[in-house]
């Protein structure tokens, strides 16, 4: 029996989070769920929430919930955020019951519409009250959709921020670059949902899969703390002997990484790998080496590795980064419930790549091969640093080319429950 | 006069500073009269990184020992560890001058000098020159050639060397505490003195002293030192692995290590969980199998690396005494069965040999190095009284490490 005093600050569950719920809200949220539902081994429960009875019925999610029977009468919120909010308010108890038991709730919605913008802050609040840690992943409307939608989204974003530990914003304008401006509208929206679903899955995997090298929730939260964080996201998966190169290249091809901000601005980057037992340390190092050339000199790099037996030969590489756009421009008119912002969580294992912020590498390039000044300061692998724990500031103990400060079970690839 | 019979051993380890004061009684027996211990701060992997902090710890441990012994000490025998220590075996040889046949003391000194004619890295200094055996005119197995008749004297030595600046840094804090360093001993050599007797050494034995930051090892074959070294991996690494693998803070990881972990080969299949009682902790259940796997992987690796370093497979038949484990981390549950599994010879955990005085400390393998230091000092003094084996050793150390 082990007893430790209560004064110890500790915020990360020691084992993988057991219950993750993904709540998809509104049209955008439901289309993300639809993608997730068709993927194998998504480590989370999917809950579809909408005012539109037909949309809810059509969702392949395991759990479905129609909100605002009286307010919306089984139809959509009609782009009216007030109706969306009222619908959610009508179903408060149900929402809270649905969230019960979940340790982490990932809330996906498209902001700018009725149900997403209006209901998302309410759902987040109920999830929080049920005891879950809430992370929202939201899309922001296309610039072409007009300034009214943008304002609506910004306002919703500010409300969301109060009940979420983190809000990740994905800008539709940038996400459709996946398919290019010439693509049909349907395809463009599909691409946005696709990117979002990849991000949801990556985060769910980070917190729920047995981690060889865990990413603490605290690390995630630190990255995306505050409502004004803009997410950069890249994901690639590949198999075969050349899977490291292919996966990294695919991840870097994601337009959210080509924006250039990730490459130059001081910020945080989380690199997460999933794979089965065949994933080797040298592959991890290779991934990091390839990616590290693209970071700015002051970038903080978090590294996580999760074991996904369902991945088979596939190596999955997720790159999540964020920059802050500044203080939210929206001032809320009705402060219905003021709560203190969530305290920043304790510093997690992290490593500093490079030393001083720089303006290098802000150029836009095409895919791979971008280099910046930071590339020269990358001899020390961030992976090693993160895994060395208390020895991270010391000279490594190198024996036969191995750094013995890295836990033996990781180097020996011993699987833990 | 009394002071010359007082021996003080000071081990500055990664996890603790230990001081042992012992006196040689008139009947020649060594009696421990005081011990002191302080948590170590400012030491990583056996090497001092913060002189200010460690000096405070050192003062604390020494004061405690002085108080218990009711003596004030001036000089200490200090242990040295760290990955910079290296060893090698080398044979030296000299012709005996034509004008005489009998081997004299100066020949013995000269042959040792000739054995030191090896290349060691620039910036390194010799720490120990431990004689293995002599050859007189090619005849093997001579342990004391003094007075023998011969034309040629050869000798094999086990030579330990290390980085001069690192040794100096390790000793600087002792001077900061206004103590004199009278001798410097490799930790493994000291621990072996504490846990082995002559029979063990003759029978062949591998001593592994697992501390907090380093693992020191020394292999005896046919009574003499054949291999020695330091691996900068110790109990702290076990703690760190547990902390990372099971995602618990260091404090818990340390508790899990010392109270729950079992590194015995079969224990990785252990069932059940360990409950952590803490209201601020969400998932307070640790799988025993995971805990044991993480700890076992690390300790097994340490043993495997040492096995390779000492070329154990080639020596196993000469190691009748098996593996002797000591040092604080040797208190890990199941460590002896694991060592036996890796080395394929019997293994046991050993505490310092019984001495007179407060015997409680001798019951723990944590004290091997500190107790070994006073035993070493006593043995050295005896040797000094007889012939000059130690004198030569000391003069060498005095020469290579200024300020002693």
Structural domain boundaries in chain B? 86-164, 197-351
With 0.80 as the threshold, say if the pTM is over it: no
Task: Write out chain A residues lying below 8 Å of B297, CB-based.
Answer: 407-409, 412, 414
Average pLDDT for A241-259: 75
Which superfamily, per CATH, for B197-351? ATPase, nucleotide binding domain (3.30.420.40)
> Are A405 and B237 inside 8 Å of each other by CB?
yes
Residue of chain B whose alpha carbon sits nearest to that of A17: B283
Interface touch A6/B237, C-beta < 8 Å: no
Chain B contact set for A412 (CB, 8 A)? 297, 301
Q: Do A412 and B297 touch (CB under 8 A)?
A: yes
The answer to whether residue B169 neighbours chain A at the CB level (below 8 Å) is no
Q: Beta strands A133-140 and A104-110: pairing type?
A: parallel
Q: How far is B268 from chain A (nearest CA, A)?
A: 10
B294 closest CB neighbour out of A3, A4, A409: A409
Report pLDDT for A381: 43
Section A194-220 average pLDDT? 73
B298 vs A: CB within 8 A: yes
pLDDT band at B245 (very low <50, low <70, confident <90, very high): confident
CB spacing of B274 vs A2 below 8 angstroms: yes
Question: Is the CB of B237 less than 8 angstroms away from the CB of A409?
Answer: no
pLDDT (0 to 100) of residue B391:
45
pLDDT band for position A345 (cuts 50, 70, 90):
very low
Tell me if B275 and A1 make a contact (CB, 8 A cut-off).
yes
Tell me the domains of chain A and their CATH numbers: 20-208 (3.40.50.1440), 232-326+345-411 (3.30.1330.20)
Higher pLDDT, B254 or A343: B254
Tens digit of each residue's pLDDT (9 = 90 or more) over B161-190? 999 998 988 888 999 889 999 999 999 999
**With respect to CATH, is domain B86-164 assigned 3.40.50.300?**
no
Mean of the pLDDT values across residues A196-205? 80
Q: Is B287 exposed, middle or buried (0-12, 13-18, 19+ CB in 10 A)?
A: middle
Contact B206, A373 (CB under 8 A): no
Q: Residues of B with CB below 8 A from A404's CB? A: 231-233, 237, 301
Query: What's chain A look like in SS3?
Result: CEECCCCCCCCCCCCCCCCEEEEEEHHHHHHHHHHHHCCCCCCCEEEEEECCHHHHHHCCCCEEEECCHHHHCCCCCCCCHHHHHHHHHHCHHHHHHHHCCCCEEEEEEEECEHHHHHHHHHHHHHHHHCCCEEEEEEEECCHHHCHHHHHHHHHHHHHHHHHCCEEEEEEHHHHHHHCCCCCCHHHHHHHHHHHHHHHHHHHHHHHHCCEEECCCHHHHHHHHCCCCEEEEEEEEEECCCCHHHHHHHHHHHCHHHHCCHHHHCCCEEEEEEEECCCCCHHHHHHHHHHHHCCCCCCCEEEEEEEECHHHCCCEEEEEEEEEECCCCCCCCCCCCCCCCCCCCCCCCCCEECCCCCCCCCCCCCCCCCCCCHHHHHCCCCHHHHHHCHHHCCCCCCEECCEECCCCHHHHCCCCCC
Distances in Å between the Cα of A67 and the Cα atoms of A109, A260, A310, A409 are: 15, 40, 34, 48
CB contact under 8 A, B244 and A408: no
* pLDDT beyond 70 at A226: no
Contacts 24+ apart (CB under 8 A), A128-133: A128/A163, A128/A164, A129/A96, A130/A96, A130/A97, A130/A99, A130/A100, A130/A101, A130/A102, A131/A100, A132/A21, A132/A99, A132/A102, A132/A103, A132/A104, A132/A105, A133/A103, A133/A104, A133/A105, A133/A165, A133/A217
Least confident interval from A187-191, A290-294, A346-350, B110-114 = A346-350
Q: What is the mean pLDDT of residues B307-319?
A: 91
Interface test with B, best of A210, A408, A410, A416 (most B CBs within 10 A): A408
Q: Dump pLDDT digits (tens) for B264-304.
A: 998 988 888 888 877 666 557 888 999 999 999 999 999 99
Q: Which residues of A touch B278 (CB under 8 A)?
A: 3-6, 8, 10
Give the pLDDT band (50/70/90) at residue A192: confident
Asked if A409 lies within 8 A of B297 by C-beta distance, the reply is yes
> Measuring CA to CA, which residue among B304, B246, B300 is closest to residue B276?
B246
Q: Are B136 and B145 in contact (CB under 8 A)?
A: yes
Residues A4, B255: C-beta atoms closer than 8 Å = yes
Residue B45 falls in which region: left (phi positive, over 0), alpha (psi -120 to 50) or beta: left
Whole-complex ipTM:
0.86
Residue of A12, A15, A412 best to disrupt the B interface, most CBs of B under 10 A = A15
**B79 to chain A nearest CA, in Å?**
21
B259 touches chain A (CB under 8 A): yes
Strand order across the B16-24 sheet:
B30-39, B16-24, B6-12, B75-80, B180-186
Of B231, B244, B251, the CB nearest to A389: B244
Residue A135 pLDDT greater than 60, yes or no: yes
Check if B271 contacts A (Cβ < 8 Å): no
**Residue B259 has what pLDDT?**
94
Query: Quick one: what percent of chain A has pLDDT higher than 70?
Result: 65
* Window from A9-13, A262-266, B248-252 with minimum mean pLDDT: A9-13
Please report the pLDDT score of residue B286 as a whole number.
86
In terms of CA atoms, which chain A residue is nearest residue B83? A397
Residues of B in contact with A4 (CB under 8 A): 251-252, 255, 276-278, 281
Work out the minimum CA distance from A10 to partner chain B, whole angstroms. Answer: 7
pLDDT band for position A389 (cuts 50, 70, 90):
confident
């Amino acid at each position: 029996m082990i007893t430790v005093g209560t004064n110890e600050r500790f915020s990360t569950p020691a084992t993988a989070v057991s219950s993750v719920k993904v709540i998809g809200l509104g049209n955008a949220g439901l289309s993300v769920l639809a993608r997730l539902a068709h993927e194998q081994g998504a480590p989370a429960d999917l809950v579809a929430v909408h005012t539109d009875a037909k949309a809810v019925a059509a969702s392949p999610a395991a759990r479905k919930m129609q909100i605002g029977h009286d307010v919306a009468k089984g139809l959509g919120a009609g782009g009216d955020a007030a109706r969306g909010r009222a619908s959610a308010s009508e179903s408060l108890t149900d929402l809270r019951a649905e969230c019960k038991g979940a340790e982490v709730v990932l809330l996906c919605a498209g902001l700018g519409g009725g149900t997403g913008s209006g209901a998302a802050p309410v759902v987040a609040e109920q999830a929080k009250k049920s005891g879950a840690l809430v992370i929202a992943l939201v899309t922001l409307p296309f610039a072409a959709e007009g300034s009214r939608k943008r304002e609506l989204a910004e306002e919703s974003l500010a409300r969301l921020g109060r009940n979420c530990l983190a809000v990740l914003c994905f800008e539709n304008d940038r996400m459709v670059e996946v398919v290019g401006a010439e693509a049909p509208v349907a395809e463009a929206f599909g691409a946005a949902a696709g990117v979002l679903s990849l991000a949801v899955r990556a985060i769910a995997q980070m917190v729920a899969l047995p981690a060889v090298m865990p990413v603490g929730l605290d690390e995630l939260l630190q990255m995306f703390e505050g409502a004004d964080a803009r997410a950069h996201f890249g994901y690639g998966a590949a198999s075969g002997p050349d899977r490291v190169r292919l996966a990294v290249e695919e991840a870097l091809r994601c337009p959210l990484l080509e924006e250039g901000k990730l490459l130059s601005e001081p910020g945080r980057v989380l690199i997460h790998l999933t794979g089965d037992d065949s994933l080797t340390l040298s592959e991890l190092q290779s991934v990091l080496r390839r990616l590290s050339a693209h970071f700015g000199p002051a970038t903080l790099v978090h590294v996580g590795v999760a074991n996904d037996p369902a991945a088979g030969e596939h190596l999955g590489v997720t790159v999540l980064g964020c920059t802050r756009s500044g203080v939210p421009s929206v001032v809320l008119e009705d402060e219905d419930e003021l709560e203190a912002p969530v305290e920043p969580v304790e510093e997690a294992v992290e490593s500093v790549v490079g030393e001083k912020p720089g303006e290098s590498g802000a150029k836009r390039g095409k895919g791979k091969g971008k280099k910046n000044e930071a590339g020269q300061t990358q001899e020390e692998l961030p992976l090693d640093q993160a895994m060395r724990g208390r020895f991270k500031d010391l000279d490594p103990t190198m024996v036969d080319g191995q750094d013995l400060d890295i836990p033996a079970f990781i180097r020996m690839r011993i699987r833990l429950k | 006069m009394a002071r010359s019979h007082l021996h003080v051993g000071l081990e500055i380890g990664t996890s603790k500073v230990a001081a042992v004061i012992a006196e040689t009684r008139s009947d020649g027996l060594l009696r421990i009269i005081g011990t002191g211990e302080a948590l170590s701060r400012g030491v990583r992997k056996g090497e001092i990184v913060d002189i200010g902090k460690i000096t405070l710890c050192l003062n604390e441990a020494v004061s405690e020992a002085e108080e218990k012994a009711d003596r004030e000490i001036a000089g200490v025998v200090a242990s040295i560890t760290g990955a910079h220590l290296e060893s090698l075996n080398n044979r030296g040889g000299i012709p005996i001058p034509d004008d005489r046949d009998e081997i004299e003391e100066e020949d013995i000194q000269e042959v040792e000098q000739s054995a030191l004619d090896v290349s060691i890295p620039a910036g390194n200094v010799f720490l120990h020159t431990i004689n293995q055996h002599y050859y007189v005119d090619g005849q093997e197995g001579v342990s004391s050639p003094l007075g023998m008749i011969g034309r040629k004297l050869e000798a094999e030595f086990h030579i330990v060397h290390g980085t001069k600046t690192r040794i100096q840094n390790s000793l600087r804090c002792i001077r900061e505490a206004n103590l004199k360093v009278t001798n410097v001993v490799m930790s493994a050599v000291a621990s072996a003195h504490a846990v082995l007797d002559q029979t063990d050494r003759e029978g062949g034995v591998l001593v592994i002293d697992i501390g907090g930051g380093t693992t020191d090892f020394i292999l005896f074959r046919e009574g003499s030192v054949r291999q020695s070294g330091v691996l900068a991996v110790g109990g702290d690494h076990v703690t760190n692995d547990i902390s990372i693998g099971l995602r618990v803070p260091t404090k818990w990881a340390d508790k899990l290590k010392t109270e729950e972990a079992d590194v015995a080969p079969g224990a990785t299949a252990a069932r059940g969980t360990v409950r952590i009682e803490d209201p601020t902790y969400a998932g307070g259940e640790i799988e025993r199998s995971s805990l044991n796997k993480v700890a076992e992987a690390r300790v097994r690796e340490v043993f495997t690396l040492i096995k390779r370093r000492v070329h154990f497979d080639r020596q196993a038949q000469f190691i009748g005494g098996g593996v002797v484990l000591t040092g604080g981390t040797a208190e890990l549950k199941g460590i002896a069965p694991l060592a036996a599994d890796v080395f394929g010879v019997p293994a046991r955990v050993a505490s310092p040999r019984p001495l007179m005085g407060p015997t409680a400390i001798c019951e723990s393998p944590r004290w091997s190095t500190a107790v070994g230091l006073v035993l070493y000092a006593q043995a050295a003094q005896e040797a000094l009284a007889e012939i000059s084996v130690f004198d030569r050793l000391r003069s060498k150390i005095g020469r290579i490490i200024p300020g002693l």
